[in-house]
Amino acid sequence: MSFLKKNNSISITVYPHTEIFIRNKVKRVKNGKISILLKNGVYLCRYKCPGKPSFTRLLFLNNLKDEISFDYRLLQDMSEHHYNVKVHNPERLPFEPETLKIPGAHVHLGVQLGEGPSTSLGSYSIKLRSFAISKYEVTNKQFSTFVQSTGYVTDAEQSGGGFSTDGRGHWQWLPSAQWRHPFLKNRISLPDDHPVVMVSWDDAMAYCKWLSNMTNRNYRLPKEAEWEYAARGEDHRLFPWTRSFNGDFHNYCNHGKSHKKSLGRGSIHDGYLLTSPVNAFPRGVSPFGVWDMLGNVKEWMEDDFIYYDEKKNSQHANQKEEQYGSITIHGIPKTLRGTGFYGDPQGYFLNAIARNSHVHKARFSALGFRLVEEL
């Protein structure tokens, strides 16, 4: 197989009678050559030829000085520039999240009086279908692939920044804040293996839609019940790693510390003042093997935020506004779970039952997301 630039299109040479699946369409190549006009971006191409192994090739096209070049950095095998997959059971692409299967169950969720903050009071039962949840929070590297592929511009970039911190208790609206540079007094880009932050609910949904289209899988944000079950397991534990806990949190998650004069302070005792790598705390995994269900960053849920005692009447929240200094953001309140790097071990929120919300257009430097794959 070879690729050539030809009249601003991609000329693909393959075996005769090959079927090429690209952009969700099938192109049949009788004579072994075909030209396809493609814009810049990432393309998933599956090839199926009689008598030959089926495989998938990932194309990352850049247009530099009117010349189309191929960037194979995202491929697993750099020597062959492709990797083998079965068409009906494709392997995960390099930028796809690793997921863990959670079996369906009839589960009892929520808390009783005295177990957690007022927003968590109440309980309910629900029947969950089997699903897969991403083992880690979505990283900067994964989100960067999405942005490079689509040219996507986040809400923070379009609408003047986000709510930012330096990890030492100072929070303020930062007009220049965005996912590449989300913190106060820090213009250094975050490492690839840290969770992406400063993304709104809409940004997270756009990523899910793109990834679904690229992979022919169904990705979305977790439903709150799915997240809680993946975090607490079948024994209703209060923390992902145990039912009760009186030890040092810094061995289990990236958390904050108490301070009487300011809220939302990071802690260096766990090794990270701000965000940490998504695989930094192996002792804190949930019973299903999911990482960072507490600490590091808060996570967007798919659901509107509804108090438990109101869920029977409605699953939809009304518009509200949030004030960040002189900045007002309007939107639908969406549920958040998990606790960011500023979560106080002495407070109510550093546990697997705490829940709160922000409007869907909100973005700040301790808010990210993970994914669910429908099975």
Alpha-carbon distance of 349 to 258, in angstroms, equals: 12
User: Tens digits of per-residue pLDDT, 77-105?
Assistant: 222 222 222 222 346 788 899 999 999 98
CB atoms within 10 A of CB 34: 18
The mean pLDDT of 121-125, rounded to a whole number, is 70
The pLDDT, as a whole number, for residue 293 is 96
Copy the structure tokens of residue 88.
């009906």
The pLDDT, as a whole number, for residue 259 is 58
The pLDDT, as a whole number, for residue 44 is 63
Give the model's confidence band at 318: pLDDT under 50 very low, under 70 low, under 90 confident, else very high. confident
The mean pLDDT of 259-275, rounded to a whole number, is 76
Mean pLDDT of the chain: 78
**Which has more confidence, 184 or 246?**
184
Per-residue H/E/C for 219-284: EECCCHHHHHHHHHCCCCCCECCECCCCCCHHHCCCCEECCCCCCCEEECCCCECCCCCCCCCHHH
pLDDT at 222 over 50: yes
CA angle at 295 for the pair 365 and 189, rounded to the nearest 5°: 35
- Would you mind telling me the total number of residues written for the chain in this entry? 375
The mean pLDDT of 23-40, rounded to a whole number, is 66
The mean pLDDT of 151-159, rounded to a whole number, is 96
Give the model's confidence band at 145: pLDDT under 50 very low, under 70 low, under 90 confident, else very high. very high
**CATH (residue range 99-374):** 3.90.1580.10
Choose the weakest-confidence range: 32-41, 151-160, 201-210. Answer: 32-41
**Which has more confidence, 257 or 196?**
196
Query: Per-domain residue ranges for the chain?
Result: 2-84, 99-374
Pick the CATH number of 2-84 from 2.40.10, 2.60.40, 3.10.150, 2.40.160: 2.60.40
> Which residue(s) pair with 330 in the sheet?
321
Give the model's confidence band at 108: pLDDT under 50 very low, under 70 low, under 90 confident, else very high. confident
pLDDT at 61 over 60: no
What percent of the chain clears pLDDT 70, i.e. is strictly above it?
A: 68
Contact predicate 374/212, CB 8 Å? no
Alpha-carbon distance of 350 to 249, in angstroms, equals: 9
Instruction: Estimate to the nearest angstrom the gap between the alpha carbon of 212 and the chain centroid.
Output: 13
pLDDT at 69 over 90: no
The mean pLDDT of 316-331, rounded to a whole number, is 84
pLDDT at 1 over 50: no
> HSE-up of 181 (CA within 13 Å, CB side)?
11
pLDDT at 118 over 90: no
The mean pLDDT of 181-208, rounded to a whole number, is 91
Highest mean pLDDT among 107-116, 235-244, 267-276, 327-336: 327-336
Give the model's confidence band at 75: pLDDT under 50 very low, under 70 low, under 90 confident, else very high. very low
Note every long-range contact of 11-17, with CB atoms under 8 Å and residues 24 or more positions apart, other chains counting: 11/35, 12/36, 14/47, 14/49, 15/49, 15/52, 17/49, 17/50
The pLDDT, as a whole number, for residue 106 is 87
